[in-house]
Amino acid sequence: MDFSKDLSLIVLAAGKGKRMKSEIPKVLHRISGQPLLHYVLSAGTGLNPKNIFVITGQKKEPVSDYIKKNYPGTRTVPQQDQLGTAHAVSMVKKYKMDFGENILILSGDTPLINIGTLKKLVEYRINSRSSASLITSLFPDPEGYGRIIKDREGNIIKIVEETDASPEEKKIHEVNSSIYCFDKESLFENIEMIKDQNKQKEYYLTDIIETIVKKGKKVNSLKIPDYLEIMGINNRFQLSIMENIMQKKISENLMKGGVTIRDPRSCYIESSVVIESDVIIEPSCIIRGKTRIGKNSIIGPFCQIKDSRIGRGTEINASIVLDSDIGNDNNIGPYSYVSQGTVTGDNIEIGAFREIKKSHLPLGEKKLNEKKE
């Protein structure tokens, strides 16, 4: 089903993130080398929507700057006063005529969301002819999440936020993902009807579900088996948990692609790194940025590599390589430091305890025994 021309996205990225204890906006905190917002926008743009609107908050400048640089087709809309998620969505009402008939609302702090799941949600709403569809999942520990309240037939009645939930409602393990798909009219007709009658005195987007249901309209949920996919981040501890999950996924994908990682738990590999098949990564390696490692290379142990191209068949042992272009069949280390635009040809050997920077080592057999700067 091709719904891209009729799909618009709203990404909520205005949260203060008080529990992060940081001057950095929550959605710009990084896991595996990229801001949380990167993963959400990457999944969203993968749907090829008509347009994307990102709601920014009090720290809007760094968020807007990041979006302008990395997702130039995305529009930012400021929410000057943080009065809740429904208030945030209402900020785009003035652009109603620009929206497609399907509106997908995402949270900027759910980096594991999968493009395939988002596509299923949109198709699910369209095929079921619902006014709204949302993603839910069963959480082993649902604390902090809104609970899905259903009737005896399993139909959604409403969503209750954690702070407003009764003791019985808090026992419910099916939680709201804060990821919704609305038809345009249902969203904009009902968004202004939401009241701030809750303990937080905020306008909750979750309340729109009950409003729609009371009008006799259809609302349904797409329950997904992997609750980790919709896990959000509110503090540094959750950020570290998400980092571990992301690192495991990155390592698994690399190993399925033919890379040997001796001890994935000891290595840190960012999501932007490209590693070709038959590469061996020894324990305790850190590989960052726009690094690309060619076939049959051996990295490690105790290597740090950032923003570098490593040619085929190259072995690097306990060394640091930064911002460099390393040729094929090189041998570097141990304990060498290669940086700042160094370029090597093929069959170059850089021995132990060497520092190389801003150097060009041409093709041919060459062993470096002297420090070059």
pLDDT digits (tens, 9 = 90+) for 22-64: 999 999 999 999 999 999 999 999 999 999 999 999 889 999 9
Q: How far apart (Å, rounded) are the C-alpha atoms in residues 269 and 246?
A: 10
CATH classification number, 4-230, choose in 1.10.520.10, 3.90.550.10, 3.30.43.10, 3.30.70.1150:
3.90.550.10
Alpha helices in the chain (DSSP H): 36-45, 60-70, 85-90, 115-128, 184-190, 207-214, 236-256
Each residue's pLDDT tens digit, 317-360? 999 999 999 999 999 999 999 999 999 999 999 999 999 999 99
Prediction pTM value: 0.91
Identify the bridge partners of residue 223 per DSSP, sorted by sequence position: 136
Q: Is the pLDDT of residue 366 over 70?
A: no
Q: Give the pLDDT score at 153.
A: 82
Q: Give the pLDDT score at 59.
A: 86
Confidence of residue 212 (pLDDT cuts 50, 70, 90): very high
Q: Give the pLDDT score at 4.
A: 66
Sequence ranges of the domains in the chain: 4-230, 257-368
Q: Is the pLDDT of residue 133 over 70?
A: yes
Identify the bridge partners of residue 258 per DSSP, sorted by sequence position: none
Q: Which of 322, 53, 318, 30 is nearest to 310 (CA)?
A: 322
% of residues, the chain, pLDDT over 70: 97
Each residue's pLDDT tens digit, 269-327? 999 999 999 999 999 999 999 999 999 999 999 999 999 999 999 999 999 999 999 99
Q: How far apart (Å, rounded) are the C-alpha atoms in residues 161 and 149?
A: 11
Confidence of residue 370 (pLDDT cuts 50, 70, 90): very low
List phi, psi (to 5°) of 308. -135, 150
Q: How far apart (Å, rounded) are the C-alpha atoms in residues 197 and 191?
A: 15
Confidence of residue 200 (pLDDT cuts 50, 70, 90): confident
The residue among 198 and 111 whose pLDDT is bigger is: 111
Q: What topology is assigned to 257-368 in CATH?
A: UDP N-Acetylglucosamine Acyltransferase; domain 1 (2.160.10)
What average pLDDT does this structure show over 130-143? 95
Confidence of residue 372 (pLDDT cuts 50, 70, 90): very low
Strand segments (E) across 99-153: 102-107, 132-138, 147-150
Q: Give the pLDDT score at 9.
A: 98
Q: How far apart (Å, rounded) are the C-alpha atoms in residues 298 and 281?
A: 6
Each residue's pLDDT tens digit, 151-194? 888 889 999 999 999 999 999 999 999 999 999 999 999 998 99
Is the Cβ–Cβ distance between 51 and 9 less than 8 Å? yes
Q: How far apart (Å, rounded) are the C-alpha atoms in residues 173 and 137?
A: 8
- To which H or E segment does residue 343 belong? strand 343-344
Q: Count how many Cα atoms sit within 13 Å of the Cα of residue 23 in the half-sphere of its side chain.
A: 0
Q: Is the pLDDT of residue 373 over 80?
A: no
Confidence of residue 371 (pLDDT cuts 50, 70, 90): very low
